[in-house]
Amino acid sequence: MCGIVGYIGKDNAKNIVINGLKRLEYRGYDSAGVAFIDSGKLKIYKKSGKIRNLEFELNKDLSLPHVAIGHTRWATHGEPNDINAHPHVDCTGKIAVVHNGIIENFAELRKSLESKGHKFKSQTDTEVIAHLVEEEIQEGKDLREAVLSAVAKLKGSYAAAVIYEDEPDKIVCVRKDSPLVIGIGEGENFIASDVPAFLSYTNKVIFLDDNECAVITADNVQIFDLNGHKVEKEIKEIPWSIAQAEKGGYKHFMLKEIYEQPKAIADTISGKLSIFEEKNKKILTDFSKIQIVACGTSFHAGLIGKFFIESISRIPVSVDYASEYRYRNPIIDNKTLIIAISQSGETADTLAAVRLARKEGAKVVAICNVIGSTITREADYTIYTHAGPEISVASTKAFTTQLAALFLFAVEVAKVRKVIDKETENKLLNALSEIPKKLKTFLDTENEKKLIRKIALEFYNSQDALYLGRFVNYPIALEGALKLKEISYIHAEGYPAGEMKHGPIALIDEKLPVVVIAPKDRVYEKMVSNIEEVKARKGKVIAVTNANCPEIKKLADFTIEIPATEELLYPFLTVVPLQLFAYHIADFLGYDVDQPRNLAKSVTVE
């Protein structure tokens, strides 16, 4: 998820675009760049790191351009550096492109363009767009026609904006599966990935829909479908403050990121029927045991990964807190595969565990959300989650996308080792591909009914809480407890429900909220009896279950219904109510949910 901004009008386009990029820095912040046309010449500035690095360079340029496009990057293809930063240009250096999204067929397009003599400078997928537009312009098309013909060859998602030295009076932009909005001004117009970029100049907007293209001049905005037919669009007024807008209208980034999970999971799954290119397949066959290392929420994802891998590909898996792994003298050899899970890719303990394992001859697969981060550079192979930047310290969408990556890994290993047949493989992948839709349905219903918010209102003054789950939902009990602890500072404990009678049951009385995760799976009956044990001691039960579970509805004080799915996949659905429960409690307590006390988004020290 990157941020793009464009401006055409009477003012200094450079400054307006830079200010817009700063407002979109939450969308990606590993590199940035601007292209503008001044006195008939296209100029490009791009820099890795924060936008202030780019601004420093740009301030040395005294030109006052009236048209510019800019980009703040969240790398998906190619390391974050000055060359891979956007904008990207064609061979003539007259066409500049900024892009948010993923071009899935970029490799084959690049090959065919290189065979025609095009010279590529970057490792990005985006650069193919600039060269494709160049091809069309050389065939005599104008910029609009050239962009329409170019995008017809693209597969994947894109919001892109293009400027052309020979047509300096316009910006042409196009969208498919990535957001793009146009800001309507007086004698000036704006484009951006999100409203915050230009909300301080105008709140009159046109939201571009998928498969639409816009030609923006200082005095006019024309919208076309991808066949070039004109489309009439309504101008809407945005009633938000800037701060509100950055959060997309949500009160906190955490709530926004919870609601982004259906798309984040879909993006992580999309196009990934095989997560390992042919050349890397060997890594899947060359080991006899797996050791998962991670910290915090990523560790909980690892625990669920063990269920996925052992039950689907029948390979033994151990899961360690990285901070313990590095000192317990683990048994590692060249038949050991390490899976290092980290949202940030910078967590010191996980990094140290990776270095220890590599020194002992193990191969390392990283599951990470940040391209170019240290762990991805030290791993033999990285599976990227496509959650986009996760701003809130409390990890939510990174967790569910890690589960998606682990599930795909388990299926891939089982397939390569012929442990499962095609039918089972399809059944598993189809069930996974239905999760985003099921989750969206659940979130839309919650958004309407606010049931979990009402339940949170009953418990935000609690001193303690107990979370219980069994089988693949036992780690979800741990994750639910961690979410409550880290943002509401209420002491909470997650426990395998079967363990309750060996100790924690002593905690239960009428003041203790007990969150039970009990979908209709192989341990459902066991969970029903555990709830009866809690109720027998007057505990307050909040049950996450399915619609067709009358026994639980009768017993529980509060019931949160989730959609049905394959039993192994329930963690994707059971964790979200727990994220929301913790969020609403912290919000009722008035805490800064996105920046909780004592915590950092990435723990880079031991």
- Which residues of the chain form contacts with ligand AGP (CB under 6 A)? 295-298, 342-344, 347, 350, 393-395, 486, 602-603
Token output for 135: 């091809």
Shortest reach from residue 603's CB to ligand AGP, in Å:
5
Q: 170 vs 485, which CB is nearer to ligand AGP?
A: 485
Q: Which residue has the tokens 């969206």?
A: 440
Cα separation, 478 vs 295, whole angstroms: 13
> Which one of the listed residues 289, 520, 526, 601 is annotated catalytic?
601
Cα separation, 477 vs 465, whole angstroms: 11
Helices (H), 41-102: 51-58
Shortest reach from residue 344's CB to ligand AGP, in Å:
3
Q: 72 vs 297, which CB is nearer to ligand AGP?
A: 297
Per-residue burial over 211-229, b = 16 or more CB atoms within 10 Å of its CB, e = otherwise: ebbbbbbbeebebbebeee
Shortest reach from residue 250's CB to ligand AGP, in Å:
17
Q: 18 vs 367, which CB is nearer to ligand AGP?
A: 367
User: Which of 436, 3, 442 shows the shortest CA–CA distance to 262?
Assistant: 436
Question: DSSP class of residue 275?
Answer: S
Q: 172 vs 354, which CB is nearer to ligand AGP?
A: 354
Q: 463 vs 598, which CB is nearer to ligand AGP?
A: 598
Q: 23 vs 247, which CB is nearer to ligand AGP?
A: 247
CB of 398 within 8 A of CB of 267?
A: no
Shortest reach from residue 455's CB to ligand AGP, in Å:
21
Shortest reach from residue 572's CB to ligand AGP, in Å:
17
CB of 240 within 8 A of CB of 199?
A: yes
E-strand ranges in 446-512 read: 464-469, 491-496
Cα separation, 435 vs 420, whole angstroms: 21
Shortest reach from residue 92's CB to ligand AGP, in Å:
42
Q: 431: which residues sit within 8 A by CB, 6+ positions away? A: 565, 566, 569
CB of 303 within 8 A of CB of 478?
A: yes
Residue nearest to ligand AGP (CB): 296
Say whether 440 is catalytic.
Answer: no
Q: 20 vs 494, which CB is nearer to ligand AGP?
A: 494
CB of 362 within 8 A of CB of 336?
A: yes
> Which one of the listed residues 2, 173, 213, 549 is annotated catalytic?
2
Cα separation, 396 vs 41, whole angstroms: 45
User: Which of 154, 148, 157 shows the shortest CA–CA distance to 179?
Assistant: 157
Cα separation, 161 vs 130, whole angstroms: 10
Shortest reach from residue 321's CB to ligand AGP, in Å:
10
CB of 197 within 8 A of CB of 190?
A: yes
User: Which of 402, 236, 430, 385 shows the shortest CA–CA distance to 319?
Assistant: 402
Shortest reach from residue 410's CB to ligand AGP, in Å:
20
Mapped onto helix, strand or coil, the DSSP state of residue 174 is strand
Cα separation, 517 vs 571, whole angstroms: 9
As to burial, measured by CB atoms within 10 angstroms (0-12 exposed, 13-18 middle, 19+ buried), residue 61 is middle
Q: 198 vs 299, which CB is nearer to ligand AGP?
A: 299
Determine the residue type at 91: C
Q: Work out the widest C-alpha separation in the chain, in whole angstroms.
A: 81
What number of residues does the chain have? 606
Shortest reach from residue 350's CB to ligand AGP, in Å:
5
Shortest reach from residue 589's CB to ligand AGP, in Å:
17
Q: 48: which residues sit within 8 A by CB, 6+ positions away? A: 30, 31, 80, 81, 82, 85
Shortest reach from residue 30's CB to ligand AGP, in Å:
15
Q: 349 vs 567, which CB is nearer to ligand AGP?
A: 349
Q: 276 vs 299, which CB is nearer to ligand AGP?
A: 299
Say whether 601 is catalytic.
Answer: yes
User: Which of 593, 183, 176, 181 shows the shortest CA–CA distance to 393?
Assistant: 593
Query: How many CB atoms are closer than 10 A to CB 418?
Result: 7
Q: 343 vs 546, which CB is nearer to ligand AGP?
A: 343
Cα separation, 322 vs 294, whole angstroms: 5
Give the DSSP H/E element, type plus range, for residue 389.
Answer: none
CB of 467 within 8 A of CB of 504?
A: no
Q: Determine phi and psi for 80, rounding to 5 degrees.
A: -70, 110
**Which residues are bridge partners to 190 per DSSP?**
7, 183
What is the number of alpha carbons within 13 Å of residue 67 lying toward its C-beta? 24
Please give the positions annotated as active site: 2, 601
